[in-house]
Amino acid sequence: MNQFTSPNRNSSAGRPWLWLALLLGALLLGYVTAMGIRHNPYVSDVDANGVSKYRFLRECRELMHDADKLNVSAMGQSIPLRTLAGQGQALPATDHVHAELSQTPAQLVNGISAVNGGGWTLTTPATISVTRSGVRQTLGELPVQCSHSKKDDRTTAVVQLPGQ
């Protein structure tokens, strides 16, 4: 036997410190959880705006993912993004148009604002590119406006030309 396995040693000397450490750990965990909930950037008034910020941002990204159906607002007209990417000529069916939001998630959440009457709006740059024969070519960045109308319960995305 050594000093650590001796039957004469009092084994309960460290228990109060163990309980104190467990109590302090539980209190710290509760504090961190409360602060995280209070400062959650996705917290939003669903009743006033129709959907949460998280759902609005997800729907906006889904609309951007389906870039072949996106339209460009130019001088009061609505032009398909596919036509604009083809510079006036129809793109072959094998070519794919891509639009991706350029900002970080934190910048996107901070850019979302509530609309009077209920809903959300976000205007952010998007990178527009075309894939031809497996090669992706970036065309540039254009502003995209995503909006959700509480009245219509619908999210829309429109690519804008600079200065429009």
What pLDDT band is residue 146 in, cutting at 50, 70 and 90? very high
- What number is the average pLDDT over the span 6-19? 72
Q: Contact 35/99 with Cβ under 8 angstroms?
A: no
> pLDDT digit string (tens) for 84-109?
777 766 677 788 888 888 888 889 98
Q: In CATH, what number is assigned to the domain containing residue 127?
A: 3.10.450
Share of the chain above pLDDT 90, in %: 17
For the cut 80, the answer to whether the pLDDT of residue 70 exceeds it is yes
State pTM to two decimals. 0.69
Domain membership flag for residue 138: yes
Domain membership flag for residue 36: no
Domain count for the chain, please give it.
Answer: 1
- What number is the average pLDDT over the span 118-141? 88
What percent helix, strand, coil does the chain show, rounded to 5?
35, 30, 35
